[in-house]
Structure 1
Amino acid sequence: MKIFSLTTTLLLVLNFLLYCNASLINFSSIKNFINKGIETITSPIKSFLNEKEDENRDSKNYHNELDIERDIIFNKDRTLDIYYDKIDIITKSKLKPVNIFVFGGSWYSGSKVKFTKFGSLLEKNDYVAVLPNYVLFPQGGFEDMVDDIYNAIQWTHKNIKKYGGDPNRISISAYSAGAHLTALAIFKSLLGYPNKNKILKPLPMLEKVVLLNGPYDFDDYYEINNYFGKESENSIVENLAKVVFRSKNVSPTDLLKPYAMKSLKSLGAKKFVFFYTSLDKQVKESSAQNLIKQMKRICPNVNINYVYKEGYEHTTLTRGIRAGSAEEENVFINLVNL
């Protein structure tokens, strides 16, 4: 296991900038940051055994799943899995609603195998579930990740009917980095922003988009610019993210800002659900609030539900579902059905 990787170094830099946002820069905060940095570097060692245990459990769950079609190629060599009732598809003619789950992992980790419990949970609740993989950093930047998610949605719309799914009732649920990338994919294709030097065609109208603990605007950390006496539309964190992740557009909120008030009749989905938790120390609540504000500004009729959960940390929901916790499973399904 490589502790001092390029990813670790870059995340430490971003971590420093985000940490400085929370307090004035002084000797005490620098000392605290150093301690935090040491913890960031050593925590992979401390959690390695627990994570390996979790991975072994996820892998076992994945390979024991029966109602699944594995490793379907959808974008060059990228693959996705489909969870569906194989008996149901033979005996019933009625098509089921579809949910695409996009995992998170700080843009550099995660896989469809790790989140297999989301697929099986959705299938047990009468959905056809689609779990795609997408390229991770540093092999790909934001535009490569968006390209995978965009193509996974298009592939699902074109092909899901043969798995018993209704192509006219496709929803998306996405967590953390996956929520950020999903918002980018939806708004880029809706508003005609280029991705990988080409304009994306509009996606089919989505039934619902459930965004869980996602970061939507790196400009939330603008206080750092104020400390250094710089005035800029984009914060230091956002400019760094553009370089690190090789993309001109990194914040979904920024994609909406150029548009006039009440200029759009739709934002690509019939309903949006935002989920945030009280003990989340990784993503600021204002990130979702700022995006919602822009969405309502340019599309006043947009249907948005905001759900705030007390007592949950950033990973409580996903870790609970991966471990088979009934409480977190119920929270997630209620959000999907909202």
Structure 2
Amino acid sequence: MKTIYFTYVLVLLFVLGIKAKAIIENNDNELIKKEEQEEMLLAENDSNDVVEVDNDVNLEDEVDSNVELEDDVDSNVELEDEVDSNVELENEVDSSIEEESKTPAAELVDTYEVALEFYENYENIAKNITYNNDGKTLDVYYNPADINTKKPVNIYIFGGSWVANDKVRFTRLGALLERENYIGIIPDFALYPNGLFEDMVDDVYQAIQWTYNNIEQYGGDKDNIILTGHSSGAHLAALTVIKAGLGLENNRVKLEPLPYLKRVVLMNGPYIFNQEFIVYTLGGSTDTSNATSTSDPEEQALLTELIGIYMNKDEVSPIQILKQYEDNSIINNFNVEKFIFVYCSEDKTIPEFSALQLIDEITRTSQSPYEYINLQGLEHPSVINGIKTEKEEFEKIYMDIIRK
């Protein structure tokens, strides 16, 4: 019995041991499984962490990439701004260049120093040629390389109130003539107080004679001579032509007729010295050394003195000289093919009646053709001063006039 009981106990213990072992193994398995699950879960978490880290890294990379892209964009924007800035700069430069091309060169100032510098450097000119026994000289503007073709000749008698100026001041007019395929002649002549009107007429007369006799060697056509005078120079040109045409005495010597002149151009000249003229001229504008009245006090005093000498003297007034002749009595037309009278509408120095009265007397006493040009809006010295400062507008006006 005891044996059976003991056996039963052993079996029971064995069974319990097996169960316990099974339970333990089961627990161990569950624990292992749990550990494995935990490990798997941990692995998953690690994997997720890695993914998240990778994602974070990728995100960081993307952020960095975006930053780089933004930097590139900023860089491109900066580059575009720089390009735009350069384009704007180029446009400004182009605009400046365009403005410079539109902007004329600094305007010339009409001073003796400026004229003298141009005169000394000008090449197409024969300077200081003596044309009379008193030692007076003239300049010839011509092209030495082209003297075989005959060119028209323009003799210019400058203004200056009979008391001022010299040929150097008008070098740019001579240069203009040479550029335009003319031969330019600009003489110096006697000025008061070193000479009176009769001396001035002698010089103008002899300058014309010299030109006719010598101009062919410079390429000029002696049968195509144009005599131009401006202001007091116009008075001397008219007085010389009329006295020579009429065979009158000058300085007690009878003048022979001048060579044939193609045209005589008289610009803004005073042709009578009566009370009306004196009031108009000496009471008018005195703002230019090229006018018949002058702003220089010494020159103004000389002018007043000179006018006083010849006040109401018929022999120095072209108008008064012609009044002594009958209608159509002058048959040689003064050896002039055509007279051209020029007046400026805003001339405050010389009255218009001076030109109109001389036209009346020339056409009354002769059959001389003439043309009258009234330049609207211009003043007494406008055309000549414009040429002396190289203004194309006035250069064209002058050339158009002498070509008529």
| TM-score bucket of the superposed structures, by smaller chain | 0.7 to 0.9
Equivalent residue number for residue 270 of structure 1: 337
SS at match of 1:218: coil
The one-letter code matched in structure 2 to 1:291 is L
For residues 88-99 of structure 1, the aligned pairs below 5 Å read 88-89=146-147, 93-99=148-154
Q: What displacement does 1:222 show?
A: 7.5
Q: Provide runs of 4+ in structure 1 moved above 4 Å.
A: 237-240, 244-248
For residues 117-196 of structure 1, the aligned pairs below 5 Å read 117-196=172-251
Residues 245 and 129 of structure 1: CA distance in aligned 2, closer, same or farther (over 3 Å):
farther
Q: Give the whole-Å Cα distance in 2 for the aligned partners of 1:302 and 1:150.
A: 20
Equivalent residue number for residue 65 of structure 1: 122
Q: What displacement does 1:268 show?
A: 2.3
Structure scoring higher RCO (CA < 8 A, sep ≥ 6) equals: 1
Q: Residue 68 of structure 1 contacts residue 83 of structure 1 at CA under 8 Å; is this kept in 2? A: yes
The one-letter code matched in structure 2 to 1:54 is T
Q: What displacement does 1:239 show?
A: 11
SS at match of 1:211: strand
The alignment yields a C-alpha RMSD, in angstroms, of 2.5
Structure 2 residues without counterparts, runs of 5 or longer: 1-107, 280-302
The one-letter code matched in structure 1 to 2:329 is S
Equivalent residue number for residue 250 of structure 1: 316
Work out which of the residue numbers 86, 103, 107 in structure 1 matches 2:158. Answer: 103
Q: Give the whole-Å Cα distance in 2 for the aligned partners of 1:165 and 1:122.
A: 12
Q: What displacement does 1:261 show?
A: 0.6
Deviation by residue 1:157-215 (Cα, 9 ceiling, x = unmatched): 11111111111111111110000001111111111221111101110110001111111
For residues 290-309 of structure 1, the aligned pairs below 5 Å read 290-299=357-366, 301-309=367-375
The one-letter code matched in structure 2 to 1:71 is N
Q: What displacement does 1:241 show?
A: 3.0
Q: Give the whole-Å Cα distance in 1 for the aligned partners of 2:277 and 2:143.
A: 48
Equivalent residue number for residue 24 of structure 1: none
Residues 277 and 220 of structure 1: CA distance in aligned 2, closer, same or farther (over 3 Å):
farther
Q: TM-score, normalised by structure 2?
A: 0.64
Deviation by residue 1:278-315 (Cα, 9 ceiling, x = unmatched): 1101000000000000001011x311110001111111
The one-letter code matched in structure 2 to 1:69 is A
More helix per residue: 1 or 2? 2
Structure 1 residues without counterparts, runs of 5 or longer: 1-50, 225-236
Q: Give the whole-Å Cα distance in 2 for the aligned partners of 1:255 and 1:158.
A: 29
Q: Give the whole-Å Cα distance in 1 for the aligned partners of 2:113 and 2:277.
A: 41
Equivalent residue number for residue 29 of structure 1: none
Q: What displacement does 1:123 show?
A: 0.9
The structure having more radius of gyration, on CA atoms, is 2
Q: Give the whole-Å Cα distance in 1 for the aligned partners of 2:357 and 2:397.
A: 24
The one-letter code matched in structure 1 to 2:318 is P
Equivalent residue number for residue 14 of structure 1: none
Deviation by residue 1:100-151 (Cα, 9 ceiling, x = unmatched): 0110000000111001111111111111111000011111110000000000
